[in-house]
Amino acid sequence: MNKRRKESFMAAAILLILFLVFFGCKNDPDPASTTPIPEGINGFPETLTMGVPFDLRKNITINLPAAPDKTFNDIIWANNAEGTINSTQIVIEDDQFIPVTFFRNTVTVYAIVKDGEGAGFDYTKEFQTSIVFPLNPFIGKWSGSDGKTWTFNKNGTYGIDSTANYGSFAVWSGKPGRKFLVTVSGDPDTITVESVVTSKLYTPYCFEQTGDTIKITPIKFDYSASNKQDPNPFDINGETITLTRQSGAPAALDLSGNDSASIMIGAWPAAFYNVIYDPNNESTNAMPNQTITYYSDGRVAYSYEGTWLKRGAVFLTVGNDGRRWDPPALASWDTKKSTSGALVGKDVVLINEYRPDGPGTPYSRGTNTSLYWRMVKN
């Protein structure tokens, strides 16, 4: 009897061990069942969001049967078939593809693998991707470490404590380290570009976001630049304010609900000039031959990209680093009716970059020389 019990016990123990071995290992990957790496170079997404880096090394796969020794390290990333990057709009750093701006059309990204100096094996894969404008991360109500309650509205205005329309704001969510919040405050019926400067009603901030917390730090830009494609540096110009979300969520702006800004929404024949507009001078009343488009979600697209705000007679644009609207271009806004030339009888919108101390000084990029924007609604 005891012997049978012992044998039964041993049999049960063996079954238990086999059970644990079988089921304990059933989730281990079976090398034979691992999904094969698809042939070619793959893994680049069809859509990216401006300002959000994409990890190439983590997501891209490479399998070239004609060159099995080639790895990710052999891939040349480019924006042309020649294998170079000649654009400030495409940035690759430390295996990160950084969408520094948005595009109205798809972007072609090239992945190129060559054998030696190009002799023999040569493989190129083209990826078409859309880089979209991000949702505005500030929309909602926030408690600030400055003891104030900040509320950012979809119509491009923001409130502080009980003052609902304290100011207007624009956000440029560029690459890490180049994310900016710019604000203009004051009564939109009375402020001027001069008054927002002298009364310190214009403030640029850099910002960093971690979940439901955003840190905004006042900054001061260096407006000088040796060429037209250098990012302009900035210095800290005040205490950091930590904003902690109370309510709301990231959302697109809708400036059609902003009485001051809505007039700008749409496509305009436009050009930038180096002479001040004269409604009575035929030479300054030619029809502009380019187009600038202002979108209700805060985008603006010309030969370069940015985001904008209009508060009364004050206009501000901030955009991609190393381009016209980096640093932010603070300007006056006005309209005049043309009395001569091709624009006779038309209302001409005038946006003049603010240069109180002459060319090359604040408050726009020093390499900008055509400071007078002129546009006419179709």
Q: Show the tokens assigned to 71.
A: 């790895």
pLDDT value, residue 318? 97
Give how far Cα 328 sits from Cα of 115, 133, 135, 367, Å: 45, 18, 20, 13
Q: What pTM does this model have?
A: 0.86
| CA 375/CA 90 separation, integer angstroms | 29
pLDDT value, residue 29? 39
Low-confidence residues in the chain, pLDDT < 70? 1-33, 87-89, 116-120, 226-229, 359-360
| CA 306/CA 324 separation, integer angstroms | 9
pLDDT value, residue 25? 35
pLDDT value, residue 231? 78
pLDDT digits (tens, 9 = 90+) for 173-215: 988 899 999 999 999 999 999 999 999 999 999 999 999 999 9
pLDDT value, residue 31? 46
The answer to whether the CB of 312 falls within 8 A of the CB of 190 is yes
Full set of structural domains in the chain with CATH: 36-132 (2.60.40), 140-376 (2.40.128.10)
pLDDT digits (tens, 9 = 90+) for 245-287: 999 999 999 999 999 999 999 999 999 999 999 999 999 999 9
pLDDT digits (tens, 9 = 90+) for 29-51: 344 447 889 999 999 999 999 99
| CA 180/CA 159 separation, integer angstroms | 18
pLDDT value, residue 298? 97
pLDDT value, residue 116? 56
Closest CA to 368 of 353, 356, 347, 378: 353
pLDDT value, residue 175? 86
353 phi, psi to nearest 5 deg? -60, 140
